[in-house]
Amino acid sequence: MRPRGPRHAAFSPGLPDYEAFSFGRWGQILACTWRRLPPALFGHGDPAGFAPLRRAIADYLAAMRGVRCDLDQVFVTGGSQQSVALAAQTLCDPNDTVLVEEPGYPGVRGALLGAGLTLAPVPADGEGMDFDQTSPAGKGARMAVIAPSHQYPLGVTMSLGRRLALLDWARDHDAWILEDDYDSEYRYAGCPLAALQGLDTRGRMVCLGNFSKVMFPSLRLAYLVVRPALTDAVRMTLDDHPSAIHQPALDAFMEEGYFASHIRKTRRLYAARQQALFAAAARHLGGLLDFAPAALRLFPR
């Protein structure tokens, strides 16, 4: 892999606007929670994470993403790649085949390869992953890893028909679906789309999300949501937990409404920037590209 250097150029993916985040408020909350940190958190703590934060995540996902879960199903991790690796080690055996989106996020592929799995790339188009259940890969795969809300790097949203077909595939083949709810907070037009996990009636879904790309990358906090029957298996797979210092602060940040306020603020900010980008692209790239953001077609041909 190429060494990772500073990413401050235009159009660098996965980087929020730091100036839009209230670091002053975050610092106050962090200082307050540190002064009142429960003595139990000075030790190893619960490998699944700080229980109040897991409850806050479960409440947030139920209200905003339509995810059905309680705190016992939520595991706090150190990032999306750790969540992917944890799910892969729990659900798959070495050399199992996993369907991945093509193109897709390299970090997901690295975590899956590190777990000893075989990747079967499936093309993604304007409706998301376009897979054939009757193909050899579709018949033999143990898991599919997708980002249905906001596919990386194409930005498309998986259509309802393909979501239902994917759930049918998992049911018929006794397979798993790992849903990366990447960037789902930033939908600028149309009705909010619930997570795919909310449509699952057979318990074949595992869902992950990340705070680092919404707040700031060095936070290094993410989560993994599994079905109740898998919680013991995930706990056995856990080797340790991320730092407990920031978890009580993030819990307070969410419970006191600052996280929801931050999402509303940045959604307006990023929507305006998207409009400016499309307007500039129409002036300078007209006739060269089609512009079709999710749920909003600004420049139809």
Domain membership flag for residue 7: no
CA distance 276 to 34: 41
Residue numbers of the domain that contains 241: 24-255
Strands, sheet with 128-129, edge to edge from the N-terminal-most edge strand: 74-77, 222-225, 205-210, 176-180, 141-146, 97-102, 118-125, 128-129
Question: Which DSSP letter does residue 227 get?
Answer: -
pLDDT of residue 46: 83
Q: What is the pLDDT along the chain (301 residues), one digit of tens a residue?
A: 455 555 566 777 778 888 899 999 999 999 998 888 777 777 667 889 999 999 999 999 998 888 889 999 999 999 899 999 999 999 999 999 999 999 998 889 999 999 999 999 999 988 889 887 767 777 889 999 999 988 888 888 888 899 999 999 999 999 999 999 888 888 777 666 788 888 888 889 999 999 988 999 889 899 999 999 999 999 888 866 677 889 999 999 999 999 999 999 999 999 898 888 888 888 888 788 777 665 443 333 3
The tokens for 52 are: 């109040």
Work out the number of other CB atoms within 10 angstroms of the CB of residue 298. 14
Enter the pTM of the model.
0.88
Domain membership flag for residue 286: no
Domain membership flag for residue 154: yes
* Residue showing tokens 């940040």: 253
Proportion of the chain in helix, strand, coil states, percent, rounded to 5: 45, 15, 45
Domain membership flag for residue 236: yes
The tokens for 87 are: 């799910």
Q: What's the CATH code of the domain at 250?
A: 3.40.640.10
Domain membership flag for residue 19: no
Q: Is the peptide bond before 103 cis (omega within 30 degrees of 0)?
A: yes
Domain membership flag for residue 133: yes
Domain membership flag for residue 296: no
Angle subtended at Cα 188 by Cα 293 and Cα 148, rounded to the nearest 5 degrees: 65
CA distance 260 to 197: 21
pLDDT of residue 275: 87
pLDDT of residue 298: 35
Pick the closest to residue 67 from 199, 171, 232, 223 (CA basis): 199
How, if at all, do strands 205-210 and 222-225 pair?
Answer: antiparallel
Number of domains the chain contains: 1
Report yes or no: 139 and 133 within 8 Å, Cβ to Cβ.
yes
The tokens for 132 are: 């054939």
pLDDT of residue 4: 58
- Cα distances from 89 to residues 43, 231, 236, in angstroms, run 26, 13, 10
Backbone angles phi, psi at 138, to 5 degrees: -65, -35
Domain membership flag for residue 263: no
pLDDT of residue 191: 65
- DSSP per-residue codes, 239-276: -----SSHHHHHHHHHHTTHHHHHHHHHHHHHHHHHHH
